[in-house]
């Protein structure tokens, strides 16, 4: 089989490389010529564990290629996947579908008459029908088919997630679309991955419902963490006690500075807009969006309070700026709210992140970027841990104390044990485990 993947970002590049690993011939297309040039030079434009090897292996096997030439790429394809961005539209929070619709028009003009056009981007309910309309209007003589196949991979573990997903959702209403997608996912069928065939609308909504539910779970435990601080309970044990209930589950019950990233913030917001427009508001998700937004700026207040209430002229050492570990993605990262708020309060920021510093430099100004954690701590009045990279989990406590001006630590990812930190003489705080200190 042969497919084209339109959009070579976090989703398109990983999905394209993984399909080629399954034995399919894949052409990845992007309109960003620089990205394609780098890929053709053997450079991977994003940081994703294992991706470099996967791409190199399949490229040299002749199953994976990269181009800006959409026309040539889509010819002879059984399916063309749209994996372009769907960011929040400025002003109203709806998903911006310009890139999806542009791609659909370009595909319709160039594709073979019976190609299946699959939306892999996260798109609001109704987009598949709109794409269908665009295909018909642009190429009335062809019998192009539409399908929806939302992607559930997580940055940082994207390859494993794609190769061994919990499930695959396919919104396909015609025989041909179902047959092509079933064939493409055949390797997963063999390992008994549940593959659910639905209508276009159900498939589109399933993706938003799943993301909104996960965002709700995170926000729920964050609020419980705040309550723990107020009443002297330990959120770590509360989450464990809750999560061992099979109906609840242990995942996504880690209290922290609020969710970020390229998906949850925009997808929760877009779902609320879709629901309002449909006259069926999702009040829980609306609250989640609001609570999470406030939480990110509240984190700066928490740091300032722990540093004595005034950070003017003080220096903060910040570890981790990406929205989570194992990615270089800075989109909607809590650091984008925390760093400017600290600077506004008069603090200087020295920061280190294993992979995110290049992207962060374009988004955060007046930060002193450091090559390793202890360099960031030099001359700083407090250490703040904002992303739980493995590199930050086992820092040398004596060295931290020697390097900082004062042994003040704000651990917004709960990666250190509070009792141990207090015993070691740190002025330490974290999320929901402060026991009233
Ligand atoms: P991205 O911004 O990293 O990549 C999108 C790419 O599409 C860019 O390289 C852009 O140049 C390219 N592009 C845009 N229009 C094009 C066109 N007409 N022709 C060719 N290329 C074009 O985006 P992403 O993070 O990969 O996300 C893509 C979609 O997948 C979004 O809808 C997102 O919500 C969804 N998604 C993302 C993740 C994730 O973890 N990033 C997970 C699941 C789903």
Give yes or no for residue 11 CB within 6 A of ligand 1. Answer: yes
pLDDT at residue 297 in the model: 87
Instruction: Give the tokens for residue 299.
Output: 């984190």
**Which of 198, 226, 253 marks a domain boundary?**
198
* CATH number of the structural domain spanning residue 61: 3.40.50.720
Residues 269 and 415 reside in one and the same domain = yes
- The protein residue whose alpha carbon is closest to atom 38 in ligand 1 is 11
- Residue 294 domain boundaries: 239-429
Residue 270 lies in a domain: yes
What separation in Å is there between the alpha carbon of 366 and the centre of ligand 1?
Answer: 30
Indicate whether 204 belongs to any domain. Answer: no
| Number of structural domains the chain divides into | 2
44 lies in some domain: yes
Query: Nearest 5°: phi and psi at 109?
Result: -70, -30
Which residues does the annotation mark as catalytic?
A: 263
Q: Please tell me if the CB atom of residue 268 comes closer than 6 angstroms to any atom of ligand 1.
A: no
Other C-beta atoms closer than 10 Å to the C-beta of 277 total 13
- Whether 194 and 245 share a structural domain: no
For the record, the structure tokens of 98 come out as 């310009």
ipTM above 0.90, yes or no: yes
Q: Please, which pLDDT band fits residue 434 given cuts at 50, 70 and 90?
A: confident
271 lines ligand 1 (CB under 6 A): no
pLDDT in tens, 97-109: 999 999 999 999 9
CA of 121 to the centre of ligand 1 (A): 7
| CA 15 to ligand 1 center in whole angstroms | 11
Instruction: Report CA(109)–ligand 1 centroid distance (Å).
Output: 21
Pick the atom of ligand 1 nearest to 11's CA: 26
Beta-carbon count within 10 A of 288 CB: 27
Whether the CB of 208 sits within 6 Å of ligand 1:
no
What is the token pair recorded at 202?
A: 């159900």
pLDDT beyond 80 at 52: yes
pLDDT at position 436 is 47
Nearest CA among 241, 260, 245, 249 for reference residue 217: 249
Residues 335, 356: Cα–Cα separation, whole Å? 11
Residue identifier of the C-alpha nearest atom 23 of ligand 1: 85
Contacts of 265 (CB under 8 A, 6+ apart): 88, 259, 289, 292, 332
In the predicted model, what is the mean pLDDT of the chain? 97
Give the pLDDT of residue 90. 85
% of the chain beyond a pLDDT of 90:
97
Same domain, 274 and 411: yes
Q: Do 194 and 295 belong together in one domain? A: no
- Let me know if residue 436 belongs to a domain: no
Residue 375 has pLDDT above 50, yes or no: yes
Task: Tell whether 245 and 363 lie within a shared domain.
Answer: yes
Same domain, 263 and 374: yes
* Residue whose CB lies within 8 A of the most ligand 1 atoms, among 28, 30, 153, 211, for a mutation test: 30
């Amino acid at each position: 089989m042969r497919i084209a993947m339109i959009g070579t970002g976090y989703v398109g590049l990983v999905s394209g490389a993984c399909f080629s690993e399954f034995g399919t011939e894949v052409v990845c297309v992007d309109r960003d010529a620089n990205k394609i040039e780098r890929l053709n030079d053997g450079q991977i434009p994003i940081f994703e564990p294992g991706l470099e090897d996967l791409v190199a292996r399949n490229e040299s096997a002749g199953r994976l290629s990269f181009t800006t030439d959409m026309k040539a790429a889509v010819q002879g394809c059984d399916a063309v996947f749209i994996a372009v961005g769907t960011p929040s539209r400025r002003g109203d929070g709806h998903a911006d579908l310009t890139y999806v619709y542009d791609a659909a028009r370009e595909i319709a003009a160039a594709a073979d008459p019976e190609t299946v056009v699959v939306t892999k981007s996260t798109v609001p309910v109704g987009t598949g029908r709109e794409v269908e309309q665009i295909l018909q209007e642009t190429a009335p003589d062809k019998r192009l088919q539409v399908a929806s196949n939302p992607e559930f991979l997580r940055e940082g573990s994207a390859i494993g997630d794609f190769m061994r997903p919990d499930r695959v959702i396919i919104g396909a209403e015609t025989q041909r679309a179902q047959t092509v997608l079933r064939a493409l996912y055949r390797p997963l069928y063999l390992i008994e991955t549940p593959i659910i065939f639905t209508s276009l609308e159900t498939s589109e909504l399933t993706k938003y419902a799943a993301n909104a539910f996960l965002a709700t779970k995170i926000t729920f435990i964050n609020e419980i963490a705040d309550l723990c601080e107020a009443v002297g309970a330990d959120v770590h044990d509360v989450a464990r006690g809750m999560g061992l209930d099979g109906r609840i589950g242990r995942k996504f019950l880690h209290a922290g500075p609020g969710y970020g990233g390229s998906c949850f913030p925009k997808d929760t917001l877009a779902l609320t807009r879709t629901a309002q427009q449909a006259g069926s508001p999702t009040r829980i998700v609306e609250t989640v969006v609001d609570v999470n937004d406030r939480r990110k700026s509240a984190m700066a207040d928490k740091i300032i309070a722990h540093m004595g209430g005034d950070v003017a002229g003080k220096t903060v050492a910040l570890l981790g700026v990406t929205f989570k570990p194992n990615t270089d993605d800075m989109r909607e990262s809590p650091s984008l709210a925390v760093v400017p708020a600290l600077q506004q309060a008069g603090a200087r920021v020295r920061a280190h992140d294993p992979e995110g510093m290049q992207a962060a430099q374009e988004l955060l100004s007046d930060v002193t970027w450091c090559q390793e954690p202890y360099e960031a701590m030099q001359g700083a009045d407090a250490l703040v841990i904002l992303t739980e990279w493995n590199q930050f989990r086992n820092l040398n406590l004596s060295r931290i104390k020697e390097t900082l001006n004062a042994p003040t630590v704000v651990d917004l990812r709960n990666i250190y044990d509070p009792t141990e930190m207090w015993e070691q003489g740190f002025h330490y705080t974290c999320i929901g485990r402060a026991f009233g200190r």
